[in-house]
């Protein structure tokens, strides 16, 4: 570059353009002097490898690491810290109240109560449930064909931040998922907690008119038919969110029904798709029947039945045993 500039200066002088030639020559000399001055200053201040700054007799290390703001626990509080420095700023304790049990958790996939293979197996199962019947059928087919380990391994490979070790957690997750699929097949909708099933039953039988109940049954059954045909679960998610909003409103008038509206809505859609008869644990049915038998012996069944209908089931014609079974689940 310098050689080209010197050549340009000579050409300008040959063309008798001395003014421009002198101007370029002066700029070149000025750049040279600045370079020499900068190099001399750097040599005087910095060590040969640039890792130290010398000021008089004192030397200071040079940190070339990029500054990063991190959040970390320190002295039983959460602080902001700039990496590579001694800067710490304590944050207000109320911002992280009741989260102390998460501060030392290194992986999102594992904690004191959950093994990361369990987390992986549950993640695959939940995603399959959201995707629809076709995805669940593919998992069941993988179990029968002994290819579930390969499927789990492919799922775990891109999830490097969750810390899955190949040949360990994928193999364990495949074993766990096999048992989960078998259990899901055997217990069916009883896999949903009793509180959520109870909310679904009471909402369906007390909060909806006959027309609304019939319309909801038809929608769920048509949805089930579409999933059987096309294998998509998007419409199910839309209907579940719609029902969850209604269940949430219903809970405001029934505060004693403490449960998850979204989970209850998910159960209700599945239940109505298979038929109007709700699944109830055998023990709950037996308990309700025993109570009904005692009420008959004491000749107060009609009074209790009338009270239940007035209290909960004023819109639905349902037997006392069914009422009690729904409440007990």
Same domain, yes or no: 202 and 270:
yes
Q: What CA–CA distances, in Å, run from 282 to 23, 241, 311?
A: 101, 30, 25
User: Is 111 part of a structural domain of the chain?
Assistant: no
pLDDT for 89-144, tens place per residue? 999 989 988 888 888 888 999 988 999 999 999 999 999 887 777 888 899 999 99
User: Is 105 part of a structural domain of the chain?
Assistant: no
Same domain, yes or no: 81 and 6:
no
In terms of residue numbers, what domain contains 236? 192-279
Question: Do 264 and 200 meet the contact criterion of CB atoms below 8 Å apart?
Answer: yes
For residues 324 and 329, what is the distance between their CA atoms, to the nearest angstrom?
8
Whether the per-residue pLDDT at 294 is higher than 80: the answer is: no
Q: What is the pLDDT of residue 6?
A: 76
Task: Give the DSSP per-residue string, 275-324.
Answer: -SSPP--HHHHHHHHHHHHHHHHTT-HHHHHHHHHHHT-TTS---HHHHH
Q: Which of 14, 41, 61 is the last residue of a domain?
A: 61
For residues 115 and 293, what is the distance between their CA atoms, to the nearest angstrom?
47
Residue 210: burial class (beta carbons within 10 Å; 0-12, 13-18, 19+)? exposed
Same domain, yes or no: 124 and 175:
yes
What's the total number of domains in the chain? 5
DSSP 8-state secondary structure symbol assigned to residue 107: B
Same domain, yes or no: 155 and 81:
no
Question: Do 169 and 110 meet the contact criterion of CB atoms below 8 Å apart?
Answer: no
Q: What is the pLDDT of residue 317?
A: 44
Same domain, yes or no: 201 and 274:
yes
Whether the per-residue pLDDT at 200 is higher than 50: the answer is: yes
User: Is 101 part of a structural domain of the chain?
Assistant: no
104 phi, psi to nearest 5 deg? -100, 10
Same domain, yes or no: 225 and 296:
no
Q: What is the mean pLDDT of the chain?
A: 82
Minimum mean pLDDT among 62-71, 207-216, 237-246: which range?
62-71
Same domain, yes or no: 205 and 259:
yes
Mean pLDDT of 25-47: 75
User: Is 145 part of a structural domain of the chain?
Assistant: yes
Same domain, yes or no: 138 and 169:
yes
User: Is 109 part of a structural domain of the chain?
Assistant: no
Same domain, yes or no: 243 and 222:
yes
pLDDT for 239-251, tens place per residue? 999 999 999 999 9
């Amino acid at each position: 570059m310098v050689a080209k500039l010197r050549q340009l200066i000579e050409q300008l002088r040959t063309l008798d353009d001395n003014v421009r030639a002198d101007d370029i020559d002066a700029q070149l000399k000025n750049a040279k002097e600045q370079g020499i001055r900068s190099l001399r200053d750097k040599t005087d201040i910095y060590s040969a490898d640039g890792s130290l700054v010398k000021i008089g007799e004192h030397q200071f290390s040079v940190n070339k690491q990029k500054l990063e703001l991190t959040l970390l626990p320190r002295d039983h509080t959460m602080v902001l810290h700039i990496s590579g420095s001694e800067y710490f700023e304590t944050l207000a304790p109320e911002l992280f109240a009741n989260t102390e049990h998460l501060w030392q958790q290194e992986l999102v996939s594992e904690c004191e109560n959950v093994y990361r293979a369990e987390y992986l197996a549950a993640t695959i199962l939940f995603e399959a449930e959201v995707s629809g019947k076709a995805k669940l059928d593919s998992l069941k087919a993988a179990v029968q064909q002994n290819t579930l380990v390969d499927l789990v391994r492919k799922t775990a490979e891109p999830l490097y931040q969750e810390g899955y070790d190949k040949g360990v957690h994928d193999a364990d997750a495949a074993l766990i998922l096999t048992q989960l699929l078998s259990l899901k097949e055997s217990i069916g909708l009883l896999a949903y907690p009793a509180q959520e099933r109870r909310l679904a039953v009471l909402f369906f039988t007390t909060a909806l008119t006959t027309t609304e109940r019939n319309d909801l049954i038809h929608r769920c059954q048509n949805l089930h038919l579409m999933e059987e045909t096309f294998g998509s679960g998007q419409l199910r998610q839309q209907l579940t969110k719609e029902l969850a909003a209604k269940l949430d409103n219903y809970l405001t008038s029934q505060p004693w029904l403490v449960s998850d509206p979204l989970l209850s809505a998910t159960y209700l859609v599945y239940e109505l798709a298979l038929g109007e008869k709700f699944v109830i644990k055998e023990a709950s049915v037996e308990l309700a029947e025993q109570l009904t038998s005692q009420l008959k012996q004491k000749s107060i069944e009609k009074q209790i039945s009338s009270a239940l209908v007035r209290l909960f089931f004023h819109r639905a014609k349902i037997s006392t045993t069914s009422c009690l079974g729904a409440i007990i689940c």
